[in-house]
Each structure stands twice: as C-alpha cells, then as structure tokens.
Amino acid sequence: MPDLALKTESTPASPLAAEVARRRTFAIISHPDAGKTTLTEKLLLFGGAINLAGQVKAKGERRNTRSDWMKIERDRGISVVTSVMTFEFDGRVFNLLDTPGHEDFSEDTYRTLTAVDSAVMVIDAAKGIEARTRKLFEVCRLRDIPIVTFINKMDRESRDTFDLLDEIEKTLALDTTPMTWPVGRGRDFLGTYDIATGGIRLLDGGGAKTGAAERIDIADLATRNANLNVDEIREELALATEACKPFELEAFREGHLTPVYFGSALRNFGVGDLLEGLGKFAPPPRAQESNLRKVEADEPRMTAFVFKIQANMDPNHRDRIAFARLCSGKLTRGMKAKLVRTGKPMPLSSPQFFFAQDRAIADEAFAGDVVGIPNHGTLRIGDTLTEGEDVTFVGVPSFAPEIVRRVRLTDAMKAKKLKEALQQMSEEGVVQVFRPRDGAPALVGVVGMLQLDVLKARLDAEYSLPVDFEVCEFQLARWISSDDRKKLDVFIAANGSGVADDVDGDPVFLAKNEFYLGYTRERAEGIVFSSVKDVK
Ligand code: GDP
C-alpha cells in the first residue's frame, strides 16, 4: 500500500508547521472492561513514557498520595489516570487524552472528546459493540472525529471476524477496512495477516512490537498448530482481501470509514500496528471553530481552550489544574496570555506536561498539545486563552443533567459557605448548579450518579460541609432561549418557580417529567428548549 500519509503531509512550511504536523491528539473510547487501561499501558510502553507496565492502574501505595475524592473512584475500582499522557514514537508526538472509564457517564468524558482530533475504538472480540462504545461513538460522530478500531482480546474466544466487521458497519453506519486479519481464533490464535503486504505476524514470533510482518507461508501454519485448517484459513484470507473495501484516507478523515486492527493488548500484540496506523492516518491537529473565524493549527499566535479542570491533584499543592488544548501556535513558558472571558492577562509561568503519573514543567508546547495550567479558580471550562485576539472557541458543551437533586445541608448556619462551594464546583464542572428564580435552595444537576458522590466527598473534605441530596420535584432541565427577548421574559414570568439560573446566569427551565416538558414546550411558541449548551 502506498504511504498515504506522504500525500497529505507535504513538507511543512515552517518549524512550527513541522511540530504541528507530527502531533496526534487522540482518546480511547470503549466499554468498561474491553481493555482500555491495558492498551493505554502498552501504548505508553511503546513511547517509553513509562518503563513499568501496570503503572497506569497502580493500586495501593502509589495512590495514597491522591486526594479524597479520587479515593471514591479508587474504591469503586475505577482507573484514574492523569487526564493526558504524552509520548513519542517514530518521530511523532502522541497526546492520549483519558476519558474516565467508570460506569457512570460524566460530562468530562464528553468534553474530553472536544479536545481530540481522532479516537481509537477498542472492542472486545467476544462482545462486539457494547452500549458505552456506541454512546461515545455517537459523540465522536457529532464532531466527525475519525476512528481507528482495535479489536482486542484475540487471544481469547472471539466472534467470527466477518460478523464483527458487519456489526460495526450496521450498528454504527461506519464502513470498515481491515488492515490486518486474525489467523486462527481463541486458543488457536496464531497471529495476524497483514492485508497490504500478505505477511503473517506471529503472536509468539517476536517482532510483535513493530516492523514488517514476518512472511510465513500459509502452508507452514499447520506445522505450528495442528488444529488449524490451512485450507479454510487460505480461503478466509482470500475472501477477506477480496471482499473488504480498500482503505481511503479521505473517507477515514471525514469519519465515514474506520481502519480495523486485531490484537491482544494483554499480550502486547497488534499494538505496534495500531500505533503505526494512528501515526500514518490519523489527522494532525485540526483547525478549530471560534466565534469569529476558523483558527488554523499552524498559525503562529498561540490560542487554547480549557476543556477540563481538576482540583487537588496533588494534596501538597492544593491546586487546580486547568487542562488546555492548544489550538494554534506555540506556547512558551512564561508567556503572558489573555483570558478572553475577562479580558485580563494570564501569565503562563508553569504550564505542565503529563507523562503517565508524572508531570514536568513545559518549556514549550505546540498546537495539538495539552498543557495543565495551575491556577486558583481563574480558569473555567470553556475558557479561551490567546495572545491578544478576542476569539472564543465554541463547541465545549454543557449537557442537560439526567439527574436533578436538591442539596440538603445538615448545618443551616453554613448556607453562605455552601453557596460559595457550589459556585466553585460548578465552575470546575463537577456538577451543574441551578438557582431557582423564586429563591428556593439551589439544585444540582449531573449526567451520572458518580458526580454526586464526588460532590459530597469534596464538600465534606474541602469545605467541611456535610450534605445530603434530596429527590426534588424536578427531574429535567433545559436551557431556554428565544430570538425575541420579550417572549422569553413572558415565559419566565409565567413559569416563575420552574425557572432557574445556571452558573453563567443563563435561564434554565425545570420540569417534573418528560410529559410536562413536552406539554410546556408545545405551548411556548418562540422559545427554544435545548439539552446542550455551548460554553461561551
Ligand atoms: P478497561 O476497563 O477497558 O480499562 O479494561 P482493562 O484494561 O482493565 O481490562 C479488563 C480485563 O481484561 C483485565 O482483566 C485485563 O487483564 C483483561 N484484558 C485486557 N486486554 C486483554 C487481552 O488482550 N486479552 C485477554 N485475554 N485479556 C485482556
């Protein structure tokens, strides 16, 4: 196969363009247990970012330095990693953004996907497409994020290969091009056949890392495993080569087609192929939409947006880290950026890079990179940083909560403190806070239950505020807006106790249930009810 990447990566025009062109910023999407953590470890090993597999999900001692609210995640057996892991491989810089892997969905997961240029979809070969994979895939599709597929756990009993590909095509409406093809399955899994070169890479044949597949004659397979029916395999490989669509870079980049790799993360098999594919095909940092114009990645002036905030990552520092994705230009340590929301300068004196569990001061970073910016609450999710230009990136969303609760304070004297704490937690994106216009106590909204546990633990640990959550009369929240300011005012006046302000002061309609929401919506002519809000 010709090196498709060469066609698209013409010689960069400047040193900045060269740095940008070699970056790949991606996330892994999968259903819990499909092997995301194992694959992450192996990817990091390739890049030499860590030298001890197992660090990513390290339990026990290593984790004792973590803050209390992370303890909840730990107790629930959730893999908590830093939000971004950077490693180099084959001349490219890979930024792997972690999507939290717990049972509950959180908004962080969605928002992280606004900061990547591509995604690896990990599928358990015995299970195929599972619910979470599908949900995350839909988020990727909304943003036309190209997907590379890794079918994992080939060393175990797996489903028929054609069947798996068919399922991807049908349930996700996504074309597939297998780049490799499994030879034998389950206990008799021998390795993969490289469709482009016709070589076979053996599971136990060394060379598992990278490089050309060993060329083994199919007839020789029988000598390696007597259980294999060589004629059947020959037929299957011929059929696979013939029947599958050729890989088309453009269709992949547009999100219509996924290249598929087979392997076993546990056995570190096929991971090199995947990484090579990602380097070759996945797009370098894409242009980003702002309120004024499209910002190209290789523009010289630095721009970035904050997609995630994490507090108290290191209890010794009690800091908040804002994770910012660079959209253009180069960030240099010590530079003064402008925080567009407030118009104020924001010195970037100690931006940080993350390598598995370590962090280091970043002296420079380029479009596509993610840096952690320590701050004491100045930065919020959705904030844009620039070198002076007043552009604001769009598309870092808030999602209508699926669970709404009223916060009950056990000590009524602390109401003011609670108000402050909730304000901070909502700015950080831990939960959404809605303040009813009629003055009733604040409500919190979350997308997943875990967010409530985290809120409770953090209010207790950081603010000494023991709270409980009460089911309240409202179950749903929708942002409301109208082209006609008057109409909105009339609606708000008529629905007094069912309208609240969010953290930015934007109005939200609270409904008891779907029926009531539908009923109100039908009668509210000229009012738009929205379940997603672009953070401005
Ligand atoms: P995550 O929940 O997606 O992060 O999944 P993990 O990486 O924690 O893997 C879930 C389980 O599957 C663990 O017990 C892994 O050891 C196992 N596992 C992961 N990859 C493979 C694989 O390629 N083959 C086999 N047999 N087991 C695997």
Q: Is the entire prediction scored with pTM above 0.90?
A: no
Regarding the beta carbon of 34 and ligand 1, being less than 6 Å apart is answered yes
Contact 374, 321 (CB under 8 A): yes
At CA 363, angle to CA 359 and CA 364, rounded to 5? 110
Q: How many helices (H) and strands (E) would you count in the chain?
A: 15, 32
Regarding the beta carbon of 41 and ligand 1, being less than 6 Å apart is answered no
Regarding the beta carbon of 153 and ligand 1, being less than 6 Å apart is answered yes
d(CA 201, CA 271): 12
Regarding the beta carbon of 127 and ligand 1, being less than 6 Å apart is answered no
Regarding the beta carbon of 204 and ligand 1, being less than 6 Å apart is answered no
Q: How far is ligand 1, taken at its centre, from the CA of residue 103, in Å?
A: 16
Please report, in tens digits, the pLDDT of each residue of the chain (536 residues total). 444 444 445 566 789 999 999 999 999 999 989 999 899 888 888 776 543 333 343 333 333 333 334 454 444 433 344 578 888 888 899 999 987 655 555 677 778 888 999 999 999 999 999 988 988 898 898 888 999 999 999 999 999 999 999 999 999 999 999 999 999 888 889 899 999 888 888 887 654 454 455 677 777 777 877 778 888 888 999 999 888 889 999 999 999 999 999 999 999 899 999 999 999 999 999 999 998 999 999 999 999 999 988 765 555 555 678 899 999 999 998 999 999 999 999 999 888 776 555 667 778 899 999 998 988 878 888 899 999 999 999 877 777 788 899 999 888 788 889 998 998 888 877 889 999 998 888 999 987 777 788 888 888 888 889 999 999 999 999 999 999 999 999 999 999 889 999 988 899 999 999 999 999 999 999 999 988 776 54
Contact 506, 432 (CB under 8 A): no
E-assigned strands of 376-431? Answer: 384-386, 397-399, 403-409
Regarding the beta carbon of 98 and ligand 1, being less than 6 Å apart is answered no
Q: How far is ligand 1, taken at its centre, from the CA of residue 111, in Å?
A: 25
Measure CA 270 to chain center.
22
d(CA 210, CA 206): 10
Q: Determine which residue's CA is closest to atom 24 belonging to ligand 1.
A: 153
195 exposed, middle or buried (CB, 10 Å; 0-12, 13-18, 19+)?
buried
At CA 303, angle to CA 297 and CA 306, rounded to 5? 110
Q: Residue 422 is which amino acid?
A: L
Long-range interactions of 290-296: CB distance < 8 A, separation 24+: 290/384, 290/391, 290/392, 290/393, 290/394, 291/391, 291/392, 291/393, 291/394, 291/536, 292/390, 292/391, 292/392, 293/391, 295/327, 295/328, 295/391, 295/393, 296/328
Regarding the beta carbon of 186 and ligand 1, being less than 6 Å apart is answered no
Regarding the beta carbon of 264 and ligand 1, being less than 6 Å apart is answered yes
Of 125, 139, 83, 160, the C-alpha closest to 359 is: 83
The neighbour count for residue 411, using CB atoms within 10 Å, is 12
Please give the helix or strand (H or E) that residue 373 lies within, else none: strand 370-375
Q: How far is ligand 1, taken at its centre, from the CA of residue 269, in Å?
A: 13
- 461-499 burial, b at 16+ Cβ within 10 Å, e below that, comes to ebbebebebeebebbbbbbbebeeeeebeebbeebeebb
- Residue in the structure block whose two tokens are 């409770």: 456
d(CA 148, CA 350): 34
Give the neighbor-by-neighbor strand order of the sheet with 303-311. 344-347, 336-339, 384-386, 303-311, 320-328, 370-375, 352-355, 358-361
Q: Residue 479 is which amino acid?
A: W
d(CA 125, CA 128): 6
> What is the token pair recorded at 105?
């969905």
Q: Residue 143 is which amino acid?
A: R
Contact 102, 124 (CB under 8 A): no
- 333-368 burial, b at 16+ Cβ within 10 Å, e below that, comes to eebebbbbbeeeebebeebbbbbbbebeebeebbbb
